Chains A and B, each alone.
Chain A
Amino acid sequence: MNWPALWLSLQVTVLATFFIVVIGLPIALFLARTAFPGRIVVETLLMLPLILPPSVIGYYLLLALGRGSPLVEWFQIRILFSWPAAVVAAVVVGLPLMIQSSKAALANVDPRLEQAARTLGAGELRIIVRITLPLARRGIVAGIVLGGARALGEFGATLMVTGNIPGRTQTLPIAIYDAVQAQRYADANLMVLVMTAVAFVGLWWVRQLERPRPAPAATQITRQEETDATALVR
Chain B
Amino acid sequence: MQPRLFVDIRRRFDHLTLRMQFQVEAEILVLFGPSGAGKTQTLQAIAGLMTPDEGIISLGDTALFRRRLGETPINLPPRRRRIGYVFQHYALFPHMTALENVAFPLGNSAQARRRAHELLDRMHLAHLAQRKPHELSGGQQQRVAIARALATDSPVILFDESFSALDQPVRDQLHADLRALQAERGLIVIYVTHNLDDAFAVGRRIAIVREGQIEQIGPLAEVCRYPANVRVARVLGMANLITARVIGIDLDRVWLDWQGWRIAAALPPQLPALGATVTAFIRPEEIWLVYPDRPLTRFADHNLLPGRIVEWRPGRRLFQLHVAVGGVMLEMAHPYTAYTDLDTAVGNEVQLSIHPESVVIVPETSQTTHDLRSHPSDHIRHAGISG
Knowing A229-B99, A232-B117 touch, does A118 contact B77 (C-beta < 8 A)?
yes
Nearest to B145 among chain A residues (CB) is A116
Q: A130-B104, A232-B117, A233-B126 are in contact. Are A118 and B99 (CB under 8 A)?
A: no
Contact partner of A131 among B82, B89, B93, B128, CB < 8 A? B93
Tell me which residues from 175 to 234 in chain A have a Cβ below 8 Å from any Cβ of chain B.
Answer: 215-216, 218, 221-222, 225-226, 228-229, 232-233
Within 8 A of A (CB), among B326-377: none
Contact-residue bracket for chain B: 35 or more
Are A119 and B47 in contact, with the CB atoms below 8 A?
A: yes
Closest B residue, CB atoms, query A126: B79
Q: Is the C-beta of A113 less than 8 angstroms from some C-beta in chain B?
A: yes
B79 to chain A, nearest CB (A): 5
Q: With an 8 A cutoff between CB atoms, is B78 at the interface?
A: yes
Q: How far is the CB of A226 from chain B (nearest CB, A)?
A: 6
Do the beta carbons of A123 and B79 come within 8 Å of each other? yes
30 residue pairs from A and B, CB less than 8 Å apart: A112-B87, A112-B89, A115-B87, A116-B85, A116-B87, A116-B93, A117-B93, A118-B49, A118-B77, A119-B48, A119-B78, A119-B149, A120-B149, A120-B152, A121-B80, A135-B93, A215-B134, A216-B135, A218-B135, A221-B130, A222-B128, A222-B131, A228-B130, A229-B99, A229-B117, A229-B127, A229-B129, A229-B130, A232-B113, A233-B114
Tell me if A's interface is mostly helix, strand, loop or mixed.
helix
Interface flag for A122 (CB, 8 Å): yes
State whether the Cβ of A134 lies closer than 8 Å to any Cβ in chain B: yes
Beyond the given pairs A115-B49, A119-B78, 20 more chain A to chain B contacts, judged by CB atoms under 8 angstroms and listed by A's residue number, are A113-B94, A115-B87, A116-B93, A118-B77, A119-B82, A119-B84, A119-B85, A120-B82, A121-B79, A130-B104, A135-B94, A135-B95, A215-B134, A218-B135, A228-B130, A229-B99, A232-B117, A232-B129, A233-B117, A233-B121
Given known contacts A112-B91, A232-B114, A232-B117, is B130 in contact with A118 (CB within 8 Å)?
A: no
The CA of A226 and the CA of B85, in the complex, are separated in Å by 28
Q: Of A112, A115, A117, A215, which is within 8 A of B104 by CB?
A: A117
Contacts of A118 in B (CB 8 A): 48-49, 77-79
Ranked nearest first, the 7 interchain pairs of A and B with the lowest CB-CB distance are A225-B130, A116-B91, A118-B78, A120-B105, A119-B85, A218-B135, A229-B129
Residue B231 CB within 8 A of the other chain = no
Interface centre among A116, A226, A232 (most CB of B within 10 A): A116
A226 to B129, CA, bound (A): 8
Docked-complex contact A120 and B104, CB < 8 angstroms = yes
Residues of B within 8 A of A (CB): 47-49, 77-85, 87, 89, 91, 93-95, 99, 104-105, 113-114, 117, 121, 126-131, 134-135, 148-149, 151-152
Q: Which residue of A lies closest to B89 (CB)?
A: A112
On whether the beta carbons of A122 and B130 are closer than 8 Å, the reply is no
Q: Which interface residue of A121, A135, A216, A225 has the most chain B CB atoms within 10 A?
A: A121
Q: In whole angstroms, how far apart are the Cα atoms of A226 and B95 in the complex?
A: 19
Whether A115 contacts B117 by the Cβ 8 Å rule is: no
| Chain B min CB distance to A33 (Å) | 16
Roughly how many angstroms separate A131 CA and B104 CA in the complex, as a whole number? 10
B91 touches A113 (CB 8 A): yes
Chain B's closest residue to A224 (CB) is B130
Question: How far apart are the CA atoms of A122 and B48 in the complex, in Å?
Answer: 13
B130 near A226: Cβ-Cβ < 8 Å: yes
Determine if B94 and A122 form an interchain contact, defined as CB atoms under 8 angstroms apart: no
Which residues of B have CB within 8 Å of A225? 129-131
Measured between beta carbons, the chain B residues less than 8 angstroms from A226 are 127, 130
